[in-house]
Structure 1
Amino acid sequence: ATPRCIFLFDIVCPYAYLASQAISKLERQCNTSVYWQPVLLGGLYKNTEAPQGTNSATSILNATKLRVTSNDFLMHVHRSGVPLNYPPEHLRTPKQKQPTLKAMRILTAIPSDARAVYAHAFYKARWVEHVDLTKEEEIEKIVQSVKSPSWDSLQLGSVVDVLSDDSIKQELQVQTQKASSRGVFGVPSFLVNDELFWGLDRLHFVAGALGFPASPPRKQISLLPHRKNTEIHVKFYFDFSSPWSFLGSTQIERAIAETGANVKLEFVPILLGALFRKIGAPNLPSAAVSQAKLEYSRKDFADWVKRYGIEFVFTPHFPIRTVVPLRVVLASKKLCPDKTVQLIHQLYRAAWVEEQNIADVDVLSDLLRAWDFPASQMLKLTQTKEIKDALIANTTEAET
């Protein structure tokens, strides 16, 4: 039998709003059943000891990460075509405490087979129409606006009755706690045969788990207006120290080729640790998230590795000191520019597949010789002011 998907959501989250539209579409495409499970996002944060407490995850982001995250969300909105009008500040946390708690209690009371249609109504009220969901009279209007199944046919009593029912309040808390115990730390989340997927941009993994593989969404390049004869300059800022950067390096050229755009791709080495310090990010981002989110991120990375069919071994030399290898790339651009991209891929593979300690100058020298690069010349260049300054300049450019 086709496995059932559990969709864990809270009306308070805009990503979950977009996911609510997408999961309904996926349900029809995959001819499967989706169980809509209300949870409290703030409760998930509290249960998993998220660093932001019960506040929005964006509340602790540095300005650069917040800008990137906001742009990413706007791209999701653009691609989905779903109408969205962000609520005014007075209807958002922290100005308004628990802005969707009453709506979530109503949805908890509603039978599961009728929950989706009411959830859609609440999502529209908050994320399109700017309705204040803390007001019971507004809640009443929303539930009465649903024609099938009608509120009266559900025989739940009045909105006031439901909102004052202690058993409903407790049930919502219980379901939030159960979700936390299954590794859920945020919304939108999806469980397929107890396998957790988190995030709007992981729906292709959900489809795959349901037995209907789907391609991950293309984000930036496919949204750029371009003509075949107009060249687009794409810069890939990288540091060998990051496994996610390694993953990106294995896919960037293929992803660009699939767009059919006329793209000039430039690999730009940067010092990731220095960049983090400049923008106010933790030097080791994985140490600044909840344990539940950290465990999921490891599983998520493994999902991507499996999807793309690439080799990967987490290096025993982590965290990798990559200053010299990055300078070697810049030296290569001067001495043998036609082989620089090849060198980048070889260094990534050495670090993240072959478990080589590329931070060790002797190891690095041996690798360069084995790959037929002028090792002595390149390593000598890495000590020059020109190469050192170029790496610093790249890092500054990445920040700006």
Structure 2
Amino acid sequence: MLELWFDFSCPYAYLASRLASRFGTAIDWRPMLLGGVFRGIGAGDGPMATLSPAKREHNFHDMHRWAAHFGIPFQMPEAHPMRTVRALRTLLALPHSRWPSAIEAIYAAYWQRAEDVTSDAVIARALAGAGVSADDIASAQARAEDPAIKDELRVRTDEAIALGIFGAPAWILRRDSGPLLIWGQDRIGFLEAALAGWDPDGGPPPGGPRPFLEAPPAKPGATLDVYFDISSPFAYLALTQLPALTCATGVTPRLVPILLGALFKQIDQVNVPLLAMPEAKQRYIGRDMHRWANWWGEPFVFPAKFPQRTVDAQRLCILAAERGFDPGVKLATALARAMWAERKDLEDRSVLQSVLEASGLPGGWIDRTGEPELKQALFDNTAAAIANKVFGVPTFIVNGTQLLWGQDRLELVAAELAR
């Protein structure tokens, strides 16, 4: 049985709820109060309260892209986020046999029709449409304020925190070795493999690594800019898959090395976002890096020195990218692998020189990193990233307008290229 921990307020949890039937296993629906989780892990009012305008805009488009990708109807309510405590307590007060249809109905009211789910009348109408009897609805809404129901929601929320959950949707697979947590609607492959016996923290999935291989051909004339800094583990992971993305779509990316620390400073972002996350999310993200490496069959070992100053390495990436995509991605990946798999110090110029030479590029380039033109090129790339609303790496910009963020968005990048 697969547990799905959710709150009606989360759009990604809504998408996950619509995907649950594809796994061919029973779903144990686990309501929790997401605001209670955020407060319980020290995240205040949650990530939405502190999103930058650029990231907020990205997330808005990201929700819609995933909904379109999965073929799920989706509408963002103007009143989002709405308080869902009343809807959650009403659900808890219903007979358990009614939960699957009730959950679908309340989600549809919120995320398909953009209705006010803080209203008892809206909740009742949604439940009635799902076949819940008038008596059951009346009884559940009457009991929603009972201390026992309130306590049950509180206990469930505390259990979520104890499981290491920090957001929604959260999938839990109970194993002899302990509960396995997989977060998000964008890890469906991970879930399917885990249900087939994969330990995502132990090595490649059954049948071997699953690198990015298939994508629809891009629309003629499509373009792709890839903003990156090898100081990011997720940029490293994305770089390993860029040649396959290029082969599958037929689009040759333009590599845009930037200085991530300078970008963060300009947009008032903390210098190392990972270290600013709540402890539960830090632990999960740390595991997630290794899981993606296992999934794609790429080496990954967290560096002995982190963070590292990568300004010289990024300037070398600019020189290589000027020679074309193939030498550019080869050097960028080699430098990133030196940091994220071989635990080397990219602030050591002898390390940079050895990576250059191993990549078939002039070792003498190391002496060019102080050239004013190269310094300016990295400054200009970073300024362009800020102008294009980049807020992290890897960032993919399709056709000069569509921004997608993260190594876990490659299938959406391919879909945008084909659109």
1:302 partner letter: H
Once the 2 structures are TM-superposed, how far is the Cα of residue 386 of structure 1 from its aligned partner?
0.5
Q: Give the distance between the partners of 1:345 and 1:128, measured in 2 at CA.
A: 42
1:381-396 → structure 2 map (5 Å cutoff) = 381-396=368-383
Cα deviation digits, residues 164-185 of structure 1 (max 9, x gap): 3211111011011011101011
Q: Give the distance between the partners of 1:86 and 1:340, measured in 2 at CA.
A: 40
Aligned to 2:403: none
Which stretches in structure 1 are left out of the alignment for 5+ residues? none
Aligned partner (choices 330, 343, 348) of residue 336 of structure 2: 348
1:320-399 → structure 2 map (5 Å cutoff) = 320-333=308-321, 339-376=327-364, 378-399=365-386
2:187 partner letter: R
The question of 1:185 aligning with 2:166 is answered yes
Once the 2 structures are TM-superposed, how far is the Cα of residue 151 of structure 1 from its aligned partner?
5.5
Cα deviation digits, residues 237-276 of structure 1 (max 9, x gap): 1111111110001112213323xx3312222211011111
Aligned to 2:17: 20
- SS of the equivalent of 2:223 reads strand
Q: TM-score, normalised by structure 2?
A: 0.82
Tell me which structure has the larger Cα radius of gyration.
Answer: 1
Q: How many residues align?
A: 373
Cα deviation digits, residues 127-169 of structure 1 (max 9, x gap): 222332223233333333322x6454x6x86244222321111
Q: Give the distance between the partners of 2:323 and 2:290, measured in 1 at CA.
A: 37
Q: Give the distance between the partners of 2:356 and 2:6, measured in 1 at CA.
A: 51
1:36-185 → structure 2 map (5 Å cutoff) = 36-50=29-43, 53-55=44-46, 57-89=47-79, 92-93=80-81, 99-147=83-131, 150=133, 152=135, 158-185=139-166
The question of 1:236 aligning with 2:233 is answered no
Q: Give the distance between the partners of 2:162 and 2:192, measured in 1 at CA.
A: 24
- SS of the equivalent of 2:344 reads coil
- SS of the equivalent of 1:42 reads helix
1:68 partner letter: H
Aligned to 1:206: 191
Equivalent residues of 1:64, 1:279 under 8 A apart: no
Equivalent residues of 1:35, 1:112 under 8 A apart: no
Aligned partner (choices 244, 264, 277) of residue 254 of structure 1: 244
Cα deviation digits, residues 188-210 of structure 1 (max 9, x gap): 11101210011111222122111
Equivalent residues of 2:210, 2:296 under 8 A apart: no
Equivalent residues of 1:139, 1:159 under 8 A apart: no
Cα deviation digits, residues 83-127 of structure 1 (max 9, x gap): 2222223xx34xx6xx21111001112343321100111111122
Q: TM-score, normalised by structure 1?
A: 0.85
1:66 partner letter: R
Distance 1:399 1:188, change over 3 A: same
CA RMSD of aligned residues (A): 2.7
Q: Give the distance between the partners of 1:335 and 1:23, measured in 2 at CA.
A: 46
- SS of the equivalent of 1:124 reads helix
Equivalent residues of 1:331, 1:381 under 8 A apart: no
- SS of the equivalent of 1:264 reads coil
Q: Give the distance between the partners of 2:211 and 2:123, measured in 1 at CA.
A: 35
Once the 2 structures are TM-superposed, how far is the Cα of residue 222 of structure 1 from its aligned partner?
5.9
Which stretches in structure 2 are left out of the alignment for 5+ residues? 198-204, 388-419
Q: Give the distance between the partners of 1:175 and 1:384, measured in 2 at CA.
A: 59
What percentage of aligned pairs have identical amino acids? 34
Q: Give the distance between the partners of 1:118 and 1:250, measured in 2 at CA.
A: 43
